[in-house]
Amino acid sequence: MDKIKQFLQKHFPAPFGFCSIEAGQPYLDCRAKSRIPEKSCSVIVLLFPYYTGEYPQKNISRYAMIPDYHLVAGAYLKNLCQLLRGQFPNNAFEPFVDNSPLREVACGQAAGLGVIGDNGLLLHPVYGSYCFLGEIVTDLPLEHSVPIGTSCLHCGACRRACPNGALQENGSVELSLCRSHITQKKGTLCEEEEEQIRLGGLIWGCDICNDVCPFNRNAAITPIPEFLDSVTPCMDEDMILSLLDSRPYNYRGKKTILRNYQLLRTDKEKV
């Protein structure tokens, strides 16, 4: 156990923890489920904090100011798995990020990386809710981490601040009411949806429930250098297109985010 901890501390700059495979079950129905190694029993959960500081002006959500975490986390996980296979040649190591069959937030809590907040996000005591998660599933037995001894304050700040009441009492999100979800919808929006984007002022995402969370009052800057290398809090049309391939909005294609940009630009021109 000490060997793998020392290994991860050497090769990964952020917090990590260990939990049983059962913590991420029941598995989500996705193609990646077929990649889970036979006789898997442990999950190495890695935290990818993304908070890069405050910006007086921004028109895009914090997590989209930085390079696509799928690419960044994916590169870290792939490299770690290759190195782990060299250290433990008789064991299997398989990386997952976002499209994981595991219930990622549950794994994060079980691995001692935080607690689940009323907004459904993992809350880390140092990095708050500004975190992504990645996992390495293995058949190597690992001692499970101890869950942290704190909990969500259940203060209700996130639910009160959500402009449309998208956050439900059970921690789920009503996507049709979520501004972040609306910014990611393809095609033509109804007038009410267009108005939500104008009111939110962001061409992608929404940070409101994060910004009001007490866990984020003193959130630490990310230790992931790749997230700090190319922070772009305010984007114009040229930036959107030039950064398209390396940003998280790429999965929707350029039409969706350019539609949102035009909505906000048109709104400003009316003022």
CB 116 within 8 A of CB 133: no
CB 202 within 8 A of CB 64: no
As a whole number of angstroms, the distance between CA 217 and CA 59 comes to 21
Residue 271 has what pLDDT?
43
Residue 149 has what pLDDT?
78
As a whole number of angstroms, the distance between CA 250 and CA 257 comes to 9
* Catalytic center residues: 98
pTM of the model: 0.93
Would you write out the chain's pLDDT as a tens digit for each of its 271 residues? 688 999 999 999 999 999 999 999 999 988 889 999 999 999 999 999 999 999 989 999 999 999 999 999 999 999 999 999 999 999 999 999 988 899 999 999 999 999 999 988 999 999 999 999 999 999 999 999 998 878 888 999 999 999 999 998 877 899 999 999 999 999 999 999 999 999 999 999 999 999 999 999 999 999 999 999 889 999 999 999 999 999 999 988 899 999 999 999 876 655 4
